[in-house]
């Protein structure tokens, strides 16, 4: 195939799952040196691209992170209209494109596929690559994170919990395993940032799933988890939109997300519903403590939303996902 980007005589070379090819970095450098190829590679390990490729092709490649479908893409891809039913389907099964080939109303088949995807990621991209022996612990760690999305966690907290379950694993091993899960694009680690300054805290992060369908295939979809699931969806959307996302830490208060993109900054609080004044004061009140002029948004699933409260926007989650680009 002749590449339009590379010009006449330049061939487009596509290589999938390049990390499975031994010595791929040297081959890429050799192909690039000829000047005859416009090269496109895919891989499922972030650490690989950050080390091997960067070392051998420094300054000669562009990296693009590929996410699952956003909510807007989900609607377009599946030929759906924006509705509560369409959104709940997105919440329950995630954004993996292959789902379009499966019976849309057969939950067993959908989750069987997602469980197989999880097993492939776990054993091929993590266990095999990092030569992990204690697979049972790795699986328990994934379940722990699945139950604690949206909560601040630390390696020590996880280690202490596992010790209470008669599993003695050091915090160092926990950190290593978490880094493997993140490198395989299975989890995202979200650090805390000081709202008043630019300090990034090195302990107590939040973890979110790259795809909620994978999470639900392991622990099930529970309506009681809706608030933290909404947090996960909002976080993913911000990443897809190109923002760097942090948990905001103020003095004695927390902001769910501080999203940075170029010179832009957005503060976001996520809630399931705001049924009373005390909930409103908590969700809007934390944002009102921030004394700058950057946009501040509360996202929820309340049907009667819109407008502002003391300058803070209140958006339905579906409108937020479809409007922020």
Tens of pLDDT along the chain (325 residues) come to: 555 555 566 888 888 877 777 777 777 778 888 888 888 888 776 655 555 666 666 666 777 888 999 999 999 999 999 999 999 999 999 999 999 999 988 999 999 999 999 999 999 889 988 899 889 889 989 999 999 998 888 877 787 777 776 677 778 888 899 999 998 889 999 999 998 767 777 678 899 999 999 999 999 998 889 999 999 999 999 999 999 999 999 888 899 999 999 989 999 999 999 888 888 888 899 999 998 999 999 999 998 777 888 899 999 999 999 998 8
CB 182 within 8 A of CB 159: no
DSSP 191: -
pTM for the whole thing? 0.87
CB neighbourhood size of 207 (10 A): 22
At residue 168, the 3 state secondary structure works out as coil
CB 174 within 8 A of CB 145: no
Domains of the chain: which residue ranges? 11-56, 71-323
DSSP of 284-321, one letter per residue?
Answer: HHHHHT--S-S-EEEEE--SS--SEETTEEEEEHHHHH
DSSP 10: P
């Amino acid at each position: 195939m002749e590449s339009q980007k590379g010009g006449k005589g330049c061939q487009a070379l596509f290589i999938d799952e390049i990390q499975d090819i031994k010595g791929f970095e040297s081959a890429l450098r050799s192909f690039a040196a000829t000047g005859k190829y416009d090269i496109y590679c895919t891989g499922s390990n972030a650490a690989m691209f950050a080390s091997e490729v960067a070392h051998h092709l420094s300054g000669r490649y562009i990296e693009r992170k590929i996410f699952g479908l956003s909510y807007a893409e989900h609607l377009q891809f599946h030929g759906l209209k924006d509705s509560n039913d369409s959104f709940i389907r997105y919440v329950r099964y995630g954004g993996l494109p292959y789902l379009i080939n499966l019976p849309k109303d057969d939950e067993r088949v959908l989750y069987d596929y997602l469980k197989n995807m999880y097993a492939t990621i776990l054993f091929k991209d993590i266990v095999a690559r990092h030569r992990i022996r204690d697979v049972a612990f790795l699986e328990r760690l994934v379940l722990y994170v699945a139950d604690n999305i949206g909560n601040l966690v630390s390696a020590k907290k996880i280690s202490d919990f596992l010790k209470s379950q008669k599993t003695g694993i050091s915090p160092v091993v926990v950190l290593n395993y978490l880094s493997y899960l993140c490198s395989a694009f299975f989890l995202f680690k979200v650090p805390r940032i000081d709202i008043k300054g630019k300090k990034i805290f090195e302990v107590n992060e939040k973890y979110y799933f790259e795809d909620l369908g994978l999470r639900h295939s392991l622990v099930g979809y529970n309506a009681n988890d809706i608030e933290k699931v909404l947090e996960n969806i909002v976080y993913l959307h911000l990443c897809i939109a190109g923002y760097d996302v942090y948990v905001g830490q103020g003095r004695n208060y927390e902001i769910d997300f501080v999203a940075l993109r170029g010179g832009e900054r957005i503060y976001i609080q996520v809630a399931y519903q705001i049924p009373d004044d005390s909930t409103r004061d908590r969700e809007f009140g934390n944002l009102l403590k921030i004394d700058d002029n950057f946009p501040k948004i509360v996202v929820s699933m309340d049907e009667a939303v819109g407008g502002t409260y003391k300058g803070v926007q209140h958006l339905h989650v579906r409108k937020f996902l479809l409007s922020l680009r």
